[in-house]
Amino acid sequence: MTAPRPDSAAAPAPRATRPNGQWAVDGRTPLNANEVMKAEDNGLNVRERVEQVYAAGGFDSITADDLRGRLRWWGLYTQRKPGIDGGRTATLEPSELEDRYFMLRVRIDGGALTTGQLRTIGEASTEFARGSADVTDRQNIQLHWIRIEDVPEIWRRLEAVGLSTTETAGDVSRVILGSPVAGIAADEIIDPSWAIGELARRFIGDPELANLPRKYKTAITGHPSQDVLHEINDVAFVGVVHPELGPGFDLWVGGGLSVAPRLGERLGAFVSEERVPEVWLAVTQLFRDYGYRRLRNKARMKFLLADWGPAWLRTVLEDEFLGYPLPDGPAAPQPTRSGDHVGVHEQKDGRFYIGAAPYVGRVSGPSLSAVADLADSVGSHRVRLTPYQKLLVLDVPAERVQDVVTGLRANGLEAEPSPFRRATIACTGIEYCKFAIVETKATAIGAIDELESRLGDLPALTPISLHLNGCPNSCARIQTADIGLKGQLVMDDDGKQVPGYQVHLGGGLASPDRAEAGLGRTVRGLKVTADGAATYVERIVRRYVADRQVTATGFEPFGVWAHRADVDALQ
């Protein structure tokens, strides 16, 4: 197969003088150390060594290429050694930064859990992870302080209830984001549950798909809120009604953030429900065979899309991988309501689901077990996680709604949160992450408490998203937040280097207030210290409230104001 990028639809460009490591163009000779590691042994094969060698021999028995490479295929990352400040993150070797403990990521495709599964995770956290647990913005749960000696037993318990850690990290298909209200929402366009289940069953753990150029993110929703961040995933399926073919999905590709953010694009193709697995497989194989492998920082789908364009990518997809053309299809309409699903909402069967916000995803093993018990006590046996670090309890009878709201609150989850608790997310940060430069979770929690107190005189304030990230990699999606804070070292008023953030303003994904996604604005030199983050957010919110214009539908959204405001107003 050869499909070079065209300069136009008619004339393909000449092949690059230097190979990019595209398997279908340049062959499979590895062009960097990471590709060598993957070529020498499939990452999935490390499981046997964990069970037969490393669990018995302990941390020191793990080879370097497994420790910092293949263990990720099973969700294991070494966590940051305590006490290493952010100024040393870029100067120390991995062996100097890493602790002898691991973060373990539990795969939860579509965010769907039974109460039994949630309880198993809670018990594993309590017994093996010092009670730690974080709900991530990819619908996973992460545990910390994991010893390699305990990993086989954790796997055994998770797999006994239908969970796994397979391919939750590494150059593979990561967890499949799915609508948290799949199958229960009264206004759902199409239920994506079958498609998500088929993808997970057929393709996760497949050795033929376990060596991709880099990580590969999937999102599928059939809800009109478009609640899975489709614009920033490598491949996404968005519920839509075709005027002739009925309900199905609009196909998107090539989204991603990090240090080179790019929003995904529609291919203009309509995908029926039954064809989602084969179309997903074709897009994934296209990425595997044509994705750039020579440079790690160019190895995501978004770079291939940028070079090829959506029309040529669709042509290659249909001609070389599917073998048939997809029908053209319409774009999904603008979202009708918030996709975080916080609050009390009626299901299509007359029962209710309740969405609650922890503090920036931070929960615990005991609290997860307690939520499982709470749900069981009212006859609910299902919970779901969201890409906004929230948790939903499903199937609650009307007469037990208040009991669940109260019980969730007692366990640190708020179904009636303040605007800032509702709309703030944070990555792992320097507490555990080897890439981080600054703290995030504690800073975000402190900022929420401060803002609730300081902005209490603005009772009609709608949620303004605040995202904190500990480094430039944007795990917390700083470029698509109203206010995004990217961790770095900054100078305080005394000229001292301290933890802080670069500010991004006015980003956002498609929402009821925003027809299309857009990246945030940066202002040259606009940085805040970590200690001053809450003060800055208070100041900018008050300026927005004072300056915002009235439109036909209400006040202009924060993002609109942030992009039109004078630089001085954003300081």
Interval 492-501: pLDDT, tens:
999 999 999 9
Q: How far is CA 524 from CA 486, 532, 568, in A?
A: 14, 18, 11
Q: Which residue has the higher pLDDT, 499 or 15?
A: 499
Q: How far is CA 29 from CA 32, 34, 153, 366, 540, in A?
A: 9, 12, 38, 49, 52
Q: How far apart are CA 342 and CA 347, in angstroms?
A: 14
What pLDDT sits at residue 4? 62
- Stretch 410-430: mean pLDDT: 97
Q: What CATH number labels 422-569?
A: 3.30.413.10
Q: How far is CA 116 from CA 121, 136, 245, 374, in A?
A: 9, 20, 39, 12
Determine how β-strand 466-469 pairs with β-strand 483-491. Answer: parallel
Q: What's the whole-number average pLDDT of the chain?
A: 96
Neighbour count for residue 393 (Cβ, 10 Å): 29
pLDDT in tens, 518-532: 999 999 999 999 999
What pLDDT sits at residue 13? 46
Q: Please check the confidence at residue 178 and state whether its pLDDT lies above 90.
A: yes
Q: How far apart are CA 538 and CA 533, in angstroms?
A: 9
Q: How far apart are CA 144 and CA 134, in angstroms?
A: 9
pLDDT in tens, 134-167: 999 999 999 999 999 999 999 999 999 999 999 9
- How does residue 8 score in pLDDT terms, banded at 50, 70 and 90? very low
Q: How far apart are CA 136 and CA 440, in angstroms?
A: 13
Q: How far apart are CA 386 and CA 357, in angstroms?
A: 10
What pLDDT sits at residue 17? 73
- Stretch 376-384: mean pLDDT: 98
Residue spans of the domains in the chain: they are 422-569
Neighbour count for residue 546 (Cβ, 10 Å): 8
- Stretch 546-555: mean pLDDT: 89
Q: How far apart are CA 244 and CA 247, in angstroms?
A: 9
Nearest partner of 411 among 378, 367, 357, 372, judged by Cα: 367
What pLDDT sits at residue 460? 83
- For the chain, the straight-line distance linking the first and the last C-alpha, in angstroms and rounded, comes to 52
CB 270 within 8 A of CB 326: yes
- How does residue 15 score in pLDDT terms, banded at 50, 70 and 90? low
Q: Please check the confidence at residue 489 and state whether its pLDDT lies above 70.
A: yes
- 195-198-200 Cα angle (round to 5): 110
Q: How far apart are CA 212 and CA 220, in angstroms?
A: 20
What pLDDT sits at residue 9? 46
pLDDT in tens, 90-132: 999 999 999 999 999 999 999 999 999 999 999 999 999 999 9
- Order the strands of the 424-426 sheet from edge to edge: 424-426, 466-469, 483-491, 497-505, 521-529
pLDDT in tens, 430-440: 999 999 999 99
Percent of the chain at pLDDT above 70? 97
- Stretch 28-37: mean pLDDT: 97
Q: Please check the confidence at residue 3 and state whether its pLDDT lies above 80.
A: no
- How does residue 551 score in pLDDT terms, banded at 50, 70 and 90? confident
